[in-house]
Amino acid sequence: MTTSVVVVSYRPGQWLAPCLASVATQADEVLLLDNGSEGASASRIGLEAGATVVRSEFNRGFAPACNEGAHRARGDVLALLNDDALASPGWLTAATEVLKDPSVAAVGPKVVLSDRYREVVYADPSWHVDGDDRPLGRQLRSVEVNGAELLEGVIGPGAHRMERNEAGDRWRWTAGPKPWYIPLPDGADIVTRVNGEVPPPGPEVRLVNSAGLFLDRRGYAGDIGIGTADDGRFDKAGERFALSGTAFVTRMSTWREVGPFAGRFFAYYEDVDWCWRARLAGMRLVYDPAATVEHKRSASSGGEHQPWVRVMAERNRTLVMVRNGPRHLAAAALRDRAARGPDGGVRAGIARLLPWALVSRARLARHWELRPHEVWDRWAGQDLDWPDGPAGTGTQR
């Protein structure tokens, strides 16, 4: 089977050329969708890499650009790869082998974060605050590497989200004795300080970014294994509810059968929506760690802490429920969103796109082989727990 790889780039950095090079010898065709990059910089990089370049004068969004690339692609196999990702040499070969099974709609590799990380574990007992079900350990106010403050870059099961008070102070709580990870720069001479002190010794590790996607009972999707050590605990292939659009491979015939990404989403949750539709059509989604893809965390979007990222993800998460979920749960999701306070534009965005979502649900329902409650009952609440202990203690799953 011939293969086409589609890469979308809006704000290309030093990662784009290596991304294109990583698939140049694997694919029969590489298409670079320049999504309105400043000065057509993405186009120049794409042409130098030998890709077929399609230039847009403005940022039309990740989902519409992927759709344009898929429309132009000529391969039997369609692969989508983020412009800040690096495919291992066997990525497309492994995926094509899995796709020989006609019941499989798409296959995704093990996605690992491209940076190196230093593991930190404090032997602190967990404690709780009234009204907060999180296990708490100690308060992190500063995490420095070679003098640079990296508190926001900390990741892993042992570190909760950033918090701030009205005075502008910021901190993160650790989750008791669970491991957390500090991103490391290139180079041999690295000095690390946590709250001004040297942390306990720990190994340098690579971390999992995604071993497929889960669906929780609120309708949120998330990356399985995110922020855990890549020490073999996710080296077993298996079926998943959905797959990350970071590195996503399907047959062209299946893409046409399921339909393109939801272009109205612009970006975020378009991969979940597509996979949910494939499930409703009776197809399977497979995670295959036989190949890996390295991903530079949030390089293209500017980071998950960006307000527009959160607004778009929340808006699209609700619309995905409206298009694919059980009717009573979709209605509950809308009521819940309407009852919330100021949200930066999420409610207005949902209201604007709700008529489209309802009409498209009726159209999509004509192709359902399974009822929404059948998919929900099978997958909602599955794969939410995985081994998240220190490196070397995980059990393969």
217 and 241 in a single domain? The answer is yes
The number of distinct structural domains making up the chain is 2
> Per-residue confidence at 305, pLDDT binned at 50, 70, 90?
low
**pLDDT tens digit sequence for 196-238:** 999 999 999 999 999 999 999 999 999 999 999 999 999 999 9
Q: Are 108 and 33 in contact (CB under 8 A)?
A: no
35 and 50 in a single domain? The answer is yes
Q: Which domain holds residue 276?
A: 3-112+208-299
pLDDT of residue 303: 54
Average pLDDT over every residue of 123-133? 89
Is residue 380 in a domain? no
pLDDT of residue 252: 98
229 and 195 in a single domain? The answer is no
Is residue 131 in a domain? yes
Average pLDDT over every residue of 124-144? 92
**pLDDT tens digit sequence for 358-368:** 999 999 999 99
16 and 142 in a single domain? The answer is no
Is residue 377 in a domain? no
Tell which of 284, 299, 314 closes a domain.
299
Give the closest residue to 292 by CA, choosing from 249, 251, 247: 247
108 and 231 in a single domain? The answer is yes
88 and 230 in a single domain? The answer is yes
Q: Residue 24 has which token pair?
A: 């140049």
DSSP secondary structure letters along 85-126: EEE-TTHHHHHHHHTTSTTEEEEEEEEEESSEEEEE---PPP
235 and 191 in a single domain? The answer is no
Is residue 349 in a domain? no
Is residue 238 in a domain? yes
pLDDT of residue 54: 97
220 and 287 in a single domain? The answer is yes
Q: Are 120 and 194 in contact (CB under 8 A)?
A: yes
3-state secondary structure of 33: strand
Q: Residue 4 has which token pair?
A: 């086409």
Q: Name which residue leads in pLDDT, 41 or 299.
A: 41
What are residue 174's DSSP bridge partners? Answer: 159
Average pLDDT over every residue of 330-342? 86
Cα distance between residue 218 and residue 212, in whole Å: 18
- Helix, strand, coil percentages in the chain from 3-state DSSP, rounded to 5: 30, 25, 40
104 and 242 in a single domain? The answer is yes
Average pLDDT over every residue of 46-52? 98
